[in-house]
């Protein structure tokens, strides 16, 4: 790996699983308990805003009780010590990468700890519930705050930045994602077309494993720190 200088990392729910945050598609995962079309689409929000707001209020409260794990801390260390460029793109809406020390994380599916005001388009930091329709702290409008999470059918955030990072990368690493949801699931193919080396670190083969040059299977808290040490000690 000593000819690598620019790295793009994509993470998914598997990197936060050992912090106690449910993944979506594993046994007992979130989508076994809630139908996506009931809680994670704009139509669901229009149809039953209270159900959707309560769902995200629960998730927002839960993640604030969780701690980053060794994988988050290892990626924070890599960001601090890597001499080339490192872009961490996450599908996760928790803040465990940041609390693990990473500072420049692209949250392509948004985040639980900001709200989105549909009146002023502002995105204030938000840690409490939204069910009581609090006023927007930026413009004062009431009842106009929604979760700042990208729902199915909506456009992920900062795709231009992600594409630019991929276009200058030498290595693409996917960590803890099933490869089930686009556009994130397509990044590995984009990387291959660009001639970029690809590595998957996942508990088990994902839907896209066959696209990767190398796959390593196991828990993120074992695989990620070992890989980071390998990268930082490469000549």
Which residues make up the interface to ligand APR (CB under 6 A)?
12-14, 17-18, 23-26, 29, 91, 109, 176-178, 180-181, 202-204, 206, 219-220
DSSP states of 40-97 as a string?
SSHHHHHH-HHHHHHHHHHHHHHHTT----HHHHHHHHHHHH-SSEEEEEE---SSHH
Structure tokens at 87: 């872009």
| Cβ closest to ligand APR, residue 170 vs residue 212 | 212
Beta strands across the sheet bearing 197-202: 105-107, 85-90, 6-11, 171-175, 197-202, 214-217
Backbone angles phi, psi at 155, to 5 degrees: -80, 125
Structure tokens at 228: 């980071």
Q: Where are the beta strands (DSSP E) in 57-206?
A: 85-90, 105-107, 110-117, 145-149, 171-175, 197-202
Residue 112 falls in the annotated catalytic set:
no
| Cβ closest to ligand APR, residue 72 vs residue 197 | 72
Strands 110-117 and 105-107: unpaired
The least CB distance from residue 12 to ligand APR, in Å, is 3
| Cβ closest to ligand APR, residue 142 vs residue 158 | 158
| Residues linked to residue 145 through DSSP beta bridges, in sequence order | 117
The least CB distance from residue 155 to ligand APR, in Å, is 13
| Cβ closest to ligand APR, residue 3 vs residue 182 | 182
Q: Which of 72, 97, 109, 112 is catalytic?
A: 109
- CA torsion angle for 86, 92, 95, 99 (degrees, to 10)? -50
The least CB distance from residue 19 to ligand APR, in Å, is 9
The least CB distance from residue 78 to ligand APR, in Å, is 17
Contact 57, 131 (CB under 8 A): yes
The least CB distance from residue 36 to ligand APR, in Å, is 7
CB neighbourhood size of 218 (10 A): 13
| Cβ closest to ligand APR, residue 22 vs residue 213 | 22
Catalytic residue positions, numbered = 109
């Amino acid at each position: 790996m000593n000819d690598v200088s620019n790295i793009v990392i994509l993470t998914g729910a598997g990197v936060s699983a050992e912090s106690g945050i449910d993944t979506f598609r594993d046994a007992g995962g979130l989508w076994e308990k809630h139908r996506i079309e009931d809680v994670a689409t704009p139509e669901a929000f229009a149809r039953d805003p209270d159900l959707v707001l309560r769902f995200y209020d629960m998730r927002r409260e839960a993640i604030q009780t969780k701690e980053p794990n060794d994988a988050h801390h290892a990626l924070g260390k890599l960001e601090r010590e890597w001499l080339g460029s490192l872009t961490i793109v996450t599908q996760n809406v928790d803040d465990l990468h940041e609390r693990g020390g990473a500072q420049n994380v692209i949250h392509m599916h948004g985040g639980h700890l900001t709200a989105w005001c549909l009146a002023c388009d502002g995105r204030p930091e938000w840690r409490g519930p939204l069910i009581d329709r609090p006023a927007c702290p930026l413009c004062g409008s009431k009842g106009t705050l929604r979760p700042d999470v990208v729902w199915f059918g909506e456009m992920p955030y900062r795709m231009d930045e992600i594409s630019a990072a991929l276009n200058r990368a030498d290595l693409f690493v996917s960590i803890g994602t099933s490869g089930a949801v686009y556009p994130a699931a397509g990044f590995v193919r984009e990387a291959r077309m660009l001639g970029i080396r690809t590595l998957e670190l996942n508990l088990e083969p994902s839907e896209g494993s066959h696209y990767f040059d190398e796959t390593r299977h196991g828990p993120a808290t074992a695989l990620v720190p070992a890989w980071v040490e390998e990268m930082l000690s490469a000549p």
